[in-house]
Amino acid sequence: MSDWLGVFPWSRWHSGVLQNQISRTASRSHVCEGSFLVLTSRAAVVLRADGLWEESFDLAWIVPSLVNMPVSRLIPFKIGQPKKQIVPKTVERDFEREYGKLQQLEDQTKKLQKDMKKSTDADLAMSKSAVKISSDLLSNPLCEQDPVFLEMVTAFDTAMKRMDSFNQEKVNQIQKTVIEPLKKFSSVFPSLNVAVKRREQTLQDYKRLQSKVEKYEEKEKTGPVLAKLHQAREELRPVKEDFEAKNKQLLEEMPKFYSSRIDYFKPSFESLVRAQVRSRPLCLPGTGKCPSGGVSPCPPRCGASQALPGFALLLERGTVSS
């Protein structure tokens, strides 16, 4: 559910970027003075002067840069904002920069996880298709008529089954050492987003109470005013301490978490390379040597050394199409 920000007079947004964007898309016949803008963190709805709702607008579509922007920067005018700058601009910029880097890292991690899953699925589909092709060739009547051809097809079928077995082993290793760690890494971001949201909510409470304190400080120092000022300061103190603690913790932990990504992913990528190397059991054509670790050359008629030449012969005979 979107965060509720409030209801604002339409005229207050007359010179704002958001109002100008909505004006280009909304029906302007009834959106005029007396209308209101109902704003959440992700959508804007116009309440017309006649009491009817205008269509809603997705902020991600109207102004993409507004999505995930701090609430304090989303509203172009200030309501109940303190005169005193409670958070230095440099600190706020540092916070937004570090959080922006983590948001980008979250998107890239999810995309990498999705692409790795597509890659392993494609590998499995390819090897299964190769096994089916070799199986279909074995059932070809030509194999019964030509013993040499049958031997080649059998070698090809053996090689494809070996490739499928190695491919399955590779996919299992990638699943355990790459995809699952990516999934585990992605599970951290929801907690981070919740922590940032709580920090933002605490900041808004901090600003509201600070503005309340300033209001009483400007009034004449009478007994009731001093009592209310004391009460407002007492309400402000724990909120201020809570915000400063949350802000400090996030500013310390976000850069550390971002820097840890290299050490976290390095073993996974190394494992991915090793899995790719071990999944090459077939011999190099024309060499008779096993690149998968075999010490001695392959036998002249082993499935690996004859698979590709045999398949080329099938193409020459027109048994399968290229």
Higher pLDDT, 122 or 17: 122
pLDDT at 26: 46
pLDDT exceeding 90 applies to what percent of the chain? 39
Instruction: Specify the 3-state DSSP secondary structure of 44.
Output: strand
Which of 3-12, 61-70, 91-100, 176-185 has the lowest average pLDDT?
61-70
Task: Give the tokens for residue 119.
Answer: 């890659």
Indicate the range of 50-59, 112-121, 222-231, 288-297 predicted with least confidence. Answer: 288-297
| Residue extents of the structural domains in the chain | 4-74, 89-278
pLDDT at residue 301, rounded to an integer: 36
- H/E segment holding residue 39: strand 36-40
Supply the pLDDT for residue 112: 94
Q: Which residue has the higher pLDDT, 83 or 171?
A: 171
pLDDT above 70: percentage of residues in the chain: 61
Q: What is the DSSP string of 269-321?
A: HHHHHHHHHHT--SPPTTT---TTS-SSPPPTT-HHHHHHHHHHHHHHHTSS-
Unique residue bearing structure tokens 């089954």: 161
**Mean pLDDT of all residues in 88-98:** 92
User: Beta partners for 39?
Assistant: 6, 44
pLDDT on residue 28? 44
What rounded mean pLDDT belongs to the chain? 74
pLDDT tens digits, one per residue of 46-83:
655 555 555 455 544 444 444 444 444 444 444 457 77
Q: Which of 131-140, 207-216, 275-284 has the lowest mean pLDDT?
A: 275-284
The per-residue pLDDT for 236 is 92
76 alpha carbon, distance to own chain's centre: 29
> pLDDT: is 304 or 104 the higher one?
104
In the β-sheet with 36-40, what is the strand arrangement from edge to edge?
4-9, 36-40, 43-47, 53-58
* DSSP 3-state of 55: strand
Q: What is the mean pLDDT of residues 299-319?
A: 39
pLDDT in tens, 242-266: 999 999 999 999 999 999 999 999 9
Please identify which residue in the block is written with the tokens 């890494």.
185
Q: How far apart are the first and last CA of the chain?
A: 54
Q: What angle do CA 86, 90, 94 make, to 5 degrees?
A: 110
State the Cα–Cα distance between residues 21 and 2, nearest whole angstrom.
20
pLDDT at residue 200 tops 80: yes
Average pLDDT over residues 198-221: 91
Query: For the residues 274-284, what does the mean pLDDT come to?
Result: 63
Class level of CATH domain 89-278: mainly alpha
- What's the CA gap between 59 and 290, in Å, rounded? 59
Question: Would you place residue 35 in the very low, low, confident or very high pLDDT band (cuts 50, 70, 90)?
Answer: low
Return the pLDDT at 99.
95
**Under 8 Å between Cβ of 282 and 304:** yes
Q: What per-residue string of b and e applies to 65-97 under the rule 16 or more CB within 10 Å gives b?
A: ebebebeeebbeeeeeebeeeeeeeeebeebee
Residue 11: burial class (beta carbons within 10 Å; 0-12, 13-18, 19+): middle
